[in-house]
Amino acid sequence: MKNNQKLKGKDLINIGIYAAIYCVLMTCIAMLGYIPIMMPMLAVIGPIILGIPMMLFYTKVKKFGMITIMATIVGIYLCVTGMGFWPIIFGVVFGFLADLIAKSGSYASVKKTILSYGTFCVLLFGNYLPLYIDREGYFSTRQSFGAEYINTLGNIMQPWTAPVLIVAAFVCGMLGALLGKALLKKHFVKAGIV
């Protein structure tokens, strides 16, 4: 029984495929961030749209660690693309929590899967954290965007928006999971997630 719980090549391939899909789609969505007012909206739009491929990934998850690895890869990708090291930390922490939640439902509970993905989405807040703890450092790396962009974004991203973005990522993650589940109903039935 213990051997069945170890990650195998097929599991790692699934993680790699879905991490690549997630990162490509996330990058496309992130382009909206070039419009200052859309920057906070990425915590809403991303989790909803990305809920579709993630729910397909969840139908493949049957072993602990798959979600943690997936979230860590996403965090590393965000770090490499210029978002700093916080997404890696958030990826590990919230990926692990998402893994625990999915495991608590034996990877077969719709409710736990939805809650797990909502938790997974909180990792996206790692992108925003520098805006709240090191504004000057963050904006110094965005000088090429122009003063108007920096001023507008600075006015939008006030400290009170931090908890709002965390809650938005979590709630919209669950909404994205519901959307993904509705669109992928056959896959959920086939995977035994009820």
What span, in angstroms and rounded, lies between the C-alpha atoms of 124 and 63? 23
Confidence class of residue 1 from pLDDT cuts 50, 70 and 90? very low
Mean pLDDT, residues 160-175: 97
Mean pLDDT, residues 62-81: 96
Mean pLDDT, residues 182-189: 93
What span, in angstroms and rounded, lies between the C-alpha atoms of 172 and 178? 10
What span, in angstroms and rounded, lies between the C-alpha atoms of 185 and 78? 30
pLDDT at 3: 43
For 72-128, the pLDDT digits (tens) are 999 999 999 988 899 999 999 999 999 999 999 999 999 999 999 999 999 999 999
pTM of the model: 0.92
Of 4-8, 145-149, 168-172, least confident by mean pLDDT is 4-8
For 39-57, the pLDDT digits (tens) are 999 999 999 999 999 999 9
Of 23-27, 116-120, 135-139, 186-190, least confident by mean pLDDT is 135-139
Mean pLDDT, residues 13-31: 96
pLDDT at 175: 98
| pLDDT reading at 62 higher than 50 | yes
pLDDT at 4: 64
pLDDT at 11: 95
pLDDT at 5: 80
DSSP letters for 42-97? HHHHHHHHHHHHHHHHHTT--STTHHHHHHHHHHHHHIIIII-SHHHHHHHHHHHH
